[in-house]
Amino acid sequence: MKFFLSKAFVLLIVFALVQIPVRWIENITHERMSFKSEATQSVSRSYAGNQYVSGPVLMIPYTHTYWEPVLNKDGNPIGREQHKLTGTISILPKTLAIDNDVTVEERKVGIFPVPVFKAAIKIKADFSWSEQPIPVTLKSTEDTLVWGEAYLSLPISDQHGIKNIAAMLWNGEKVQYKPGSRSRLFNEQGISAAVNATPNGGEAVANIELSLIGTLLIRNLPTAEQTTVNFKSNWPNPQFTGTQLPDTRDVSANGFAATWLSTALATNIGSLWKACTTSSMNQEAYNNPCNAIQNESVGVTMIDPTNFYTKMTRALKYGFLFLAITFVAFVLFEVLCDLRIHPVQYTLLGIASGIFFLLLLSLAEQIGFAMAYAAAAGACLVLLTVYAHALLKNWKRTLSFSAILATLYGVLFTILQQEDAALLTGSLLIFGLVAVTMMITRNIDWYAWQEKFSKAP
């Protein structure tokens, strides 16, 4: 009895120890994930980052001059002083169409590929506005309100990515654009141009064509009462993002096309824009109303199909199961076939099973996840089969063990390829393994085997 308990205790210690390499590999995986994230950030800094392109907005600045009395310490007026208040009114388009033709390629930082894009963007905005109400109260005949020169604002989140402005037209006439959107959205990044418009009402059409580069993500902000956003690209792995999914989409191996239809009723863009333009530039980021406009954007993220690290972390969650099945299988062979397997041999079996995950990680970075999985599983299966034959002394027993292991590798690969049904498949696998173990051992007299086993050979 003492020998049996001693070996059981030693096997538990061995099983716990062979978990250490698996946890170590898990830490390596997270480290590699952070390296990939750093590679993406490096490309964003040297190339251009995520891009948010707003629809254009007509803005008319004003200066309000007024007088306030100056009081002495007793509260009596002793004079007066002049104050000036500046602000802008914003006129949003009635209709807006943004067409994005996005060409994606990969830039490598070491072994890590990062999708970058160049987008040819065409924007057409139709404006129609009535006479604008006076934005301030004139308290006396000496108070004045002077309108400034109107300008068209086009906010862009990372203006370092602007490669070319092919055209910027106001009612068919070229306008001179300048860097800086002169709006608080994206901290004034973008472009703006003085245009011929007054607050007394009017109609106009703005046409803008530009070339923009960026990394991973591009979105458009629908600033009109009715907005149509079109995307087409050569990238076959898009993730459509934003508050709305596209109304139509077509994804194939050659790329994708998608269209969004948005209205101001859905986005409440008028109120959001007003809150943004009247907010403080120094307002905390988490409480900045301009973020609410950005949240209403629609667009696409270019998914990197080689980013297998999520699958790798999921695979490592099954490391415990791999080792447990290997140990249980050989314990059953000891019981059913009257064998003796030393704890050192259990240790080597556990380490060999854990090495699968290290091989999978290192090979996947070079040849892709599917091929890496086949190579790592094949190498470990051959190694464990050869070693098992030396322990089991019989090819029939060895091939039975190999079949179990091959099935386990195959089911794990299936689970990793799934998303919605992964939990169900994993649960069925565990249930099946427990059921098979119970059926195989149902007729074993464990007391008799314990007594026999406790006699040291």
Q: H/E element holding 273?
A: helix 269-277
Q: What distance lies between CA 92 and its chain's CA centroid?
A: 31
Q: Rounded to an integer, what distance in angstroms lies between the CA atom of residue 251 and that of residue 258?
A: 8
Q: What is the DSSP string of 38-99?
A: HHHHHHHHHT---EEEEPPEEEEEEEEEEEEEEE-TTS-EEEEEEEEEEEEEEE--SEEEEE
Is the pLDDT assigned to residue 217 strictly greater than 80?
yes
Q: Rounded to an integer, what distance in angstroms lies between the CA atom of residue 341 and that of residue 330?
A: 8
Q: What distance lies between CA 157 and its chain's CA centroid?
A: 18
383: helix, coil or strand?
Answer: helix
Structure tokens at 308: 């297998």
Residue with tokens 């173990």, as numbered in its chain:
437
The residue extents of the domains of the chain are 2-37+308-453, 49-302
Q: What is the pLDDT of residues 230-263, one digit of tens each?
A: 999 999 889 898 888 899 999 998 999 999 999 9
Q: Average pLDDT over the chain, rounded to whole? A: 82
Percent of the chain with pLDDT strictly greater than 90: 29
Query: In the chain, helix, strand, coil percent, each to 5?
Result: 45, 30, 25
pLDDT of residue 207: 96
Q: For 28-56, b where at least 16 C-beta lie within 10 A, e where not — what string?
A: bbeebeeebeebbebbbeebbbbbbbbbb
Residue 71 confidence class, pLDDT cut points 50, 70, 90 = confident
Is the pLDDT assigned to residue 456 strictly greater than 60?
no
Q: What is the pLDDT of residues 363-394, one digit of tens each?
A: 887 887 888 889 988 888 888 888 878 777 77
Q: What is the pLDDT of residues 299-334, one digit of tens each?
A: 999 887 666 777 777 777 777 777 777 777 777 777
Q: Rounded to an integer, what distance in angstroms lies between the CA atom of residue 17 and that of residue 217?
A: 44
In a 10 Å sphere around its CB, with 0-12 CB exposed, 13-18 middle and 19+ buried, how is residue 282 labelled?
exposed
> Does the predicted TM-score (pTM) go above 0.75?
no
Q: Rounded to an integer, what distance in angstroms lies between the CA atom of residue 417 and that of residue 370?
A: 10
137 versus 95: which is more confidently predicted? 95
Among candidate residues 131, 129, 107, the one with its CA nearest the CA of residue 118: 107
Beta bridge partners of 120: 101, 211
Residue 451 confidence class, pLDDT cut points 50, 70, 90 = low
